Homo-oligomer: A and B are copies of this chain.
Amino acid sequence: MDEFELIRRYFTRPARRAVLGVGDDCALIAPRPGYELALSTDMLVAGRHFLRDAEPEALGHKTLAVNLSDCAAVGAEPRYALLAGALPDANPDWLEAFSRGLFALADRYGVELIGGDTTRGPLTLCVTIVGEVPAGRALLRSGARPGDTVWVSGMLGTAAAGLAVLRGGLDLPEAESRQALDALQRPDPRVELGVALRGIAASAIDVSDGLVGDLGHILERSAAGAEIELSRLPCAGWLRARLEPAASRHLALHCLLAGGDDYELCFTAPPSQATRVLAAGSEAGVAVTPIGHIVEGAALAVLDEHGHALDLSGLRAFDHFGS
């Protein structure tokens, strides 16, 4: 199977919204009047972002999900995706499962795959996503203001716990283990929530590298600080239970505060917007939880169960470039 046959067989579908889809030198799209386009690109490398033997259907899902999450973070509706991939070989079963996972998620959001490139090489996947957002209404990292409430969607730390399970650093009962692995391997991008938060949230980011690091980006771009409370961070009961014993506390803190791959939204909104934030969560079908607030300054303080600031220096945000 050569490159062109591979693209034709697994990654070509008729264009619907696009003017021209896969199969020419470029895809063509006609922008919608009054809308801006939101673009983001993410590269996933085997052995760093996923295990080399990752189940291909879940990998297809995740490859697109991390990009949809970027759209969600700015409140854009994802419309088009381009996929570039280096593959060690052209295994039909693998490709079929990978494309099934990718298209299932794409279909859920009406996202069209409009272009791509395949080549042989160490397994590497790169999706570029194109979303639409009404002009001037995108949620930015830079909009947080002192007094804003800091919120997160869903639960934190589950995916990082899943990675710890895979790496043998955490032993969980069957059901919890499945939940953790599922969060890691099949994250649910918060697209509906991002859209519902337009005009409500003051700033937003997706939690891909861990809460401390990602909230840190909001603070940096907003020139502000924040104070959040450990006890308010939404997480699975089995993860919370591990905060107590000294033996498991560090790992639990790491998962909650610095674990990557949550793909939840962290966002801020003035306290006056609380009711609307909760309504947006309901509308999107995802829990939203206030975890603290934005303060003057530049520091991020995470208060422990006794109101003391945790030492965050040992909790490095997940850095895909780190060794």
Contacts and interface: CB of A to CB of B under 8 A. Distances in A.
Interface of A: 1-4, 6, 19-20, 23-31, 33, 35-45, 47-49, 69-71, 73-74, 76, 80, 82-87, 90, 114-122, 124, 126, 128-131, 133, 135, 138, 140-142, 204-206, 221, 319-323
Contact of A45 (B25, B73, B119): B119
A300 to B, nearest CB: 15
25 contacts: A1-B321, A2-B321, A3-B322, A24-B74, A25-B69, A25-B71, A25-B204, A25-B206, A26-B71, A27-B39, A29-B36, A37-B37, A40-B115, A41-B84, A45-B86, A45-B122, A48-B119, A48-B121, A87-B321, A117-B126, A119-B320, A120-B321, A120-B323, A124-B124, A128-B128
A164 to B, nearest CB: 20
A25 B86 contact: no
Given A45-B120, A128-B128, A36 B30 contact: yes
Contacts of A76: 26
Q: Report the copy number of this chain in the oligomer.
A: 2
Nearest to A122: B122
A83 B83 CA distance: 13
Most chain B beta carbons < 10 A, residue from A37, A38, A42, A323: A37
Contacts of A121: 43, 45, 47-48, 122, 124
A175 to B, nearest CB: 32
A248 to B, nearest CB: 28
Contacts of A204: 25
B30 A135 contact: yes
B28 A40 contact: no
A111 to B, nearest CB: 14
Contact of A42 (B1, B117, B142, B321): B117
A114 B48 CA distance: 25
Contact of A41 (B82, B86, B321): B82
Nearest to A23: B221
B126 A84 contact: yes
